[in-house]
Structure formats: structure tokens, C-alpha cells
């Protein structure tokens, strides 16, 4: 989704957004896979960006935004 892509851009140094189609999605519409291969977050409906952000922050850290100069 465009929302998840935009969210992932804040972590682009640590996170790679990969849009894809699969033969059998098992009902999932989106998922976050940790570097060790475990699923950290998944959804069967429209992605809840807030829930995705919480999971990303837990596994990839909070992004420190630099002040605009």
C-alpha cells in the first residue's frame, strides 16, 4: 500500500519495502518480516499503519528526525 511504502521510507536505511503478488497469500494483505525471518507483524485486512509503525519501531528502532535547517 502507498501508506506502508511512505511509512517504510522513514526507515529506508534499515527496512526494505517490497510490494508483491503471491499465488497463495493465506489471507494476508501485508506483513513485516524481521531480519531473522520471523514475522513481526501481519494483517488480513487493510493495513493499520499505526500498528505497523509500532512493530517497526520495536524491531528496527525509533527514527530520530533531523531538524530542518
68 falls in which pLDDT band (50, 70, 90)?
low
CA angle centred on 39, ends 45 and 64, rounded to 5°: 90
> Could you tell me how many helices (H) and strands (E) the chain has, helices first?
2, 2
Helix (H) or strand (E) holding 32: strand 30-33
pLDDT at 69 > cutoff 80? no
- Cell representation of residue 16: 526494505
Query: Which triple of cell numbers denotes residue 45?
Result: 485486512
The pTM for the full model equals 0.76
Phi, psi of 15 (to 5 degrees): -135, 140
pLDDT range class, residue 24, cuts 50, 70, 90 = confident
Amino acid at each position: 500500500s502507498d501508506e506502508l511504502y511512505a511509512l517504510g521510507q522513514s526507515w529506508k536505511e534499515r527496512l526494505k519495502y517490497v510490494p508483491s503478488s503471491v499465488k497463495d497469500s493465506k489471507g494476508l494483505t501485508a506483513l513485516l518480516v524481521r531480519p531473522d525471518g520471523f514475522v513481526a507483524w501481519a494483517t488480513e485486512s487493510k493495513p493499520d499503519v499505526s500498528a505497523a509503525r509500532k512493530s517497526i519501531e520495536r524491531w528496527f528502532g525509533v527514527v530520530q528526525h533531523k531538524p530542518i535547517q
